[in-house]
């Protein structure tokens, strides 16, 4: 009788542990799907779901502004309000150096070719959208239907880093130089998504891609 009870207890214990393992693995899988680190493939490029906030960290939500960066610099600037200590000097370099990349581990600045792939209208569709009250542009992979949202949170310009175009436009750096003292970036608005090149000392958003 004692042996039967022990066998029953062992069986019950194994069954309980097995069920716990299934629940844990299921929850872990769900959590992985929900994290920004997973990213989304758009036209063959794996894009992060959220903007970069402080160096090494993503913003909390896809519609959050994150923080602004000057080209080839790792110093983060707030995406709202006025500032008093803006760096008005010219950033150096001919490409965005890895040492200065504020992207989280496993991610990096997109290069110019990857920006071009995001706005390739043969494989990517985009539209103006509002997510939780924030205006921006959604990019859809035509083949899969998967999408990312880039908030239109403006940028910082001029000798004092004045905040401009918030809610109307979004500016996202690439790692590529345009001309001396200029960098290439993605510009989005109500009816457009184009690449541009202008002064590298401007403060713009970063949406990174997987390494």
pLDDT, residue 174, reads 98
Which DSSP letter does residue 37 get?
G
Whole-model pTM: value is 0.82
Q: Can you tell me the distance from the alpha carbon of 113 to that of 47, in angstroms, rounded to the nearest whole number?
A: 13
CB 108 within 8 A of CB 97: no
CB 69 within 8 A of CB 206: yes
Phi, psi of 163 (to 5 degrees): -75, 125
Which tokens is 122 given? 């043969």
pLDDT, residue 52, reads 98
pLDDT, residue 157, reads 95
pLDDT by residue for the chain (211 residues), tens only, comes to 434 433 433 434 333 434 344 333 433 333 333 344 579 999 999 999 999 999 999 999 999 999 999 999 999 999 999 999 999 999 999 999 999 999 999 999 999 999 999 999 999 999 999 999 999 999 999 999 999 999 999 999 999 999 999 999 999 999 999 999 999 999 999 999 999 999 999 999 999 999 9
pLDDT, residue 36, reads 45
Q: Can you tell me the distance from the alpha carbon of 71 to that of 18, in angstroms, rounded to the nearest whole number?
A: 51
pLDDT, residue 125, reads 98
CA 56 to chain centre: 11
């Amino acid at each position: 009788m004692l042996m039967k009870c022990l066998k029953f207890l062992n069986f019950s214990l194994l069954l309980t542990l097995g069920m716990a393992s299934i629940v844990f693995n299921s929850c872990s899988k769900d959590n992985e799907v929900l994290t920004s680190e997973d990213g989304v493939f758009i036209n063959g490029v794996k894009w992060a779901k959220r903007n970069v906030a402080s160096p090494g960290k993503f913003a909390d939500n896809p519609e959050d502004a994150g923080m602004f960066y000057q080209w080839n610099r790792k110093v983060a600037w707030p995406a709202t309000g006025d500032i008093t200590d803006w760096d008005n000097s010219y950033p150096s370099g001919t490409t965005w150096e890895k040492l200065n990349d504020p992207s989280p581990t496993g991610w990096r600045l997109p290069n110019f070719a990857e920006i071009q792939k995001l706005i390739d209208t043969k494989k990517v569709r985009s539209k103006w959208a509002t997510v939780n009250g924030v205006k921006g542009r959604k990019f859809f992979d035509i083949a899969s239907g998967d999408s990312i949202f880039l908030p239109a949170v403006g940028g910082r310009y001029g000798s004092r880093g004045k905040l401009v175009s918030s809610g109307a436009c979004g500016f996202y750096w690439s790692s590529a130089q345009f001309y001396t003292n200029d960098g290439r970036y993605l510009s989005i608005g109500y009816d457009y998504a184009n690449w541009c090149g202008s002064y590298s000392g401007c403060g713009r958003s970063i949406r990174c891609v997987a390494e």
